[in-house]
Structure 1
């Protein structure tokens, strides 16, 4: 082959190779890029934002991507409000607003879009987007800024709605009309209300599940300032503290017969000393068993005799009647039950050192046959078995024993050892466990100093999951001791119990009453294994009411 032919061959081969590589490359699937986390961006507004001497009947917004509108007439507000709602239309990447009402002279208008605008694919919301114009030569420019805090955690609250009402319209919060002036807190809990006119206003914050911006549920959190804001210049550092207002009137939230036959009643508020009385059939009252939740807002009512077609139940608190429940049931209705036990053993099958083994049945027990129950310690039976019935609760038994470290325990509940009030019996139940290591626990002593002996304090120790370990009521400087406490991180939470009733009282927004103040120590207490630890806790003077 000549030199020229060789060069031509190599060039031809290289071309074929490049085409093959390109062909292979084209067969690969495109790699996905990072997820789009950016909301739609405004490119242009016609007329422009902050326009003076505004006289248009239509506004057009052009965005950089396709978008969708959600809850248009709930999220978008105009201040001052129109009698006739504007028309909102989407045309490609444009949002068109057509005004159906005449504009007032020499007035600043603010259109707040709330969370109405989001991109099509990822749903990224364009938050707190506003459009401002004036029909006169002046645009209102006053502002109110601040933050929103959660009462329980004392942490800043994001995505809370901050609402402003003219003082003359303060009662609108409790109506069916959403506010015209509002904004949403950012990720740091801060807010800014802008382009405000001089005047006197009341301010609220609301944390709600449904985006209606109306305080209409006991489950919503509310915040307010007692004194109106007289706005003549910019107002800064407004601190609003959210709380969940206790229900003012007692009512039954739900009631039903469960599949196993117990009557499940849920209240809308926690009670102080609840009790249940069966009104009909009256014979059921003496053979019922009632199990109230720790929070005293739920009652489980068990009936030994299920041969009735309806029941009438009175709910009382501190022996005072609150309400009556009527619930129907099929006379011959059958129920499914699987009698079992729960234990005070953690998920690792460890029992806390120096504690008894607590056995809790899922139904009230008529009998527990101790002859059919065995406890094995390293495969050796423990005799005698010290099993004690709880006289106040037929669902609970206590097994006392001098537990040994490093021993393997097996609790055997033989078949038909348990009989519930319905005559049901258990299948064989086995529970293996060991005693947790002593070195996993320690003693924590809080040396608590109070600032004012005229005030009562509720001292709570909370773990890393914000669960309360224990609550102690004190009114003087003292030591609070926690023995056999699992090693980990803890914080101290204090409620200023001003009315000395032994509980943390919530506020009342209509009566302009704040909840009792809470202080959480900044210091995280780390309890080390097998350690006796002392910590000084100086409760600060109760912060001033805003």
Structure 2
């Protein structure tokens, strides 16, 4: 009897040990990290302006993905000195800076989708942390949609951002917007924790991740009228178009009939004025949105560059800055006698069909034509007209 009882107990213990040791698995972690606390008081108001860091604690180990590209701080805080974690997972985020914060201002730290747990990479989506150096948190928002005007396909991953600039006498688009946020993959954007005011809104494709619009390199969309934020605004629609390259003077060089001036970009309008006393009679030709300008003058009649290189100076304005302001450009000009005037027919030959206009091409500017000595002959006939 004792032997039987001993065998039953031994078998039970053996079965129990087997169950403990077997790899039965468990439920997969599908929860994003949870906020626990911060070094800033839970009310998040009346935060001292001389505070130099933000620490946010979570309930598990986290990693930060492309934090330098994904983190947007509005208004911008300059001189960020440290962001933790960098390469090693941690249970907190630490951001340190040198700047003194503005008075009575709500700061929003928008982490986008950069925060994820270390085990399963569950993302804490669109996480924001806001606090105020004043006695209240600004709580207005602006939202809407952004679309690429020239694309019918939705991008699998876009780099679009939307920013607000405070409307002042001048707006410096070479600086980061006062408020900025990323556009999600469905084209939706939302700017949160805004103060009441009047803003200029801009959307652009932030290719290099610097949060600043780079003209000529990135797609851009504006709204003509400012956005007046007295209460929250929703339903805005912005379309992005390829941006124009900024107009920039490149060079001048001798060309048949005068001088050729070229630009980077395509100016709508160009004004040019010779600054040399010798050139008194001249013509300027420029087709709208063309990158080149022709300055026509008679070098022989003006006695310019006939025996040696001559420094010619010009004032120009290519629709940049004030229109009454002229920028200086110059070249060492030497007349090339080989650049003779060349005239050709633009009708594909010497023969004209009935009622067809006679067209000519010239490599020089033609402002007057004397037809007194022209001769026209009817084909197959000796009749001259």
- Normalised by the length of structure 1, the TM-score is 0.38
Greater percentage in strand: 1
Q: CA 1:49/1:149 → structure 2, altered by over 3 Å: closer, same or farther?
A: farther
Alignment partner of 1:64 out of 55, 59, 64:
59
Counterpart mapping for 1:475-494 below 5 A: none
Counterpart mapping for 1:178-189 below 5 A: 178-189=176-187
RMSD: 4.0
Q: Secondary structure of 1:240's match?
A: strand
Partner of 2:71: 76
- When Rg is computed on C-alpha atoms for both structures, the one with the higher figure is 2
Alignment partner of 1:132 out of 130, 149, 158:
130
2:101 matched to 1:103?
yes
Question: How many residues are aligned here?
Answer: 246
Structure 1 residue 141: deviation in Å?
Answer: 2.0
Q: Which runs of 5+ in 2 are unaligned?
A: 249-263, 266-289, 293-385
Structure ranking higher on relative contact order (CA contacts 8 Å, 6+ apart): 2
Q: Deviations over 1:255-298 (max 9, x none)?
A: xxxxxxxxxxxxx99xxxxxxxxxxxxxxxxxxxxxxxxxxxxx
Partner of 2:277: none
Counterpart mapping for 1:382-393 below 5 A: none
Counterpart mapping for 1:519-534 below 5 A: none
Partner of 1:149: 147
Alignment partner of 2:15 out of 12, 15, 18:
18
Q: CA 1:172/1:156 → structure 2, altered by over 3 Å: closer, same or farther?
A: farther
Structure 1 residue 61: deviation in Å?
Answer: 0.6
Partner of 2:91: 93
Structure 1 residue 228: deviation in Å?
Answer: 1.6
Q: CA 1:123/1:142 → structure 2, altered by over 3 Å: closer, same or farther?
A: same
Q: Deviations over 1:419-442 (max 9, x none)?
A: xxxxxxxxxxxxxxxxxxxxxxxx
Q: Which runs of 5+ in 1 are unaligned?
A: 251-267, 270-319, 323-546
User: Distance between the aligned counterparts of 2:246 and 2:101, measured in 1?
Assistant: 42
User: Distance between the aligned counterparts of 2:291 and 2:163, measured in 1?
Assistant: 39
- Normalised by the length of structure 2, the TM-score is 0.52
Structure 1 residue 11: deviation in Å?
Answer: 0.8
Whether the aligned pair in 2 keeps the contact of 1:86 and 1:101 (CA below 8 Å) is: no
Q: Deviations over 1:490-514 (max 9, x none)?
A: xxxxxxxxxxxxxxxxxxxxxxxxx
Whether the aligned pair in 1 keeps the contact of 2:215 and 2:243 (CA below 8 Å) is: no
User: Distance between the aligned counterparts of 2:61 and 2:17, measured in 1?
Assistant: 39
Partner of 1:231: 229
Q: CA 1:218/1:72 → structure 2, altered by over 3 Å: closer, same or farther?
A: same
Partner of 2:307: none
Q: CA 1:192/1:89 → structure 2, altered by over 3 Å: closer, same or farther?
A: same
Counterpart mapping for 1:159-198 below 5 A: 160-168=160-168, 171-173=171-173, 175=174, 177-198=175-196
Q: Secondary structure of 2:11's match?
A: helix
Partner of 2:362: none
The ranges of structure 1 where at least 4 consecutive aligned residues each deviate by more than 6 angstroms after the TM superposition are 155-158
Partner of 1:54: 47
Whether the aligned pair in 2 keeps the contact of 1:170 and 1:202 (CA below 8 Å) is: no
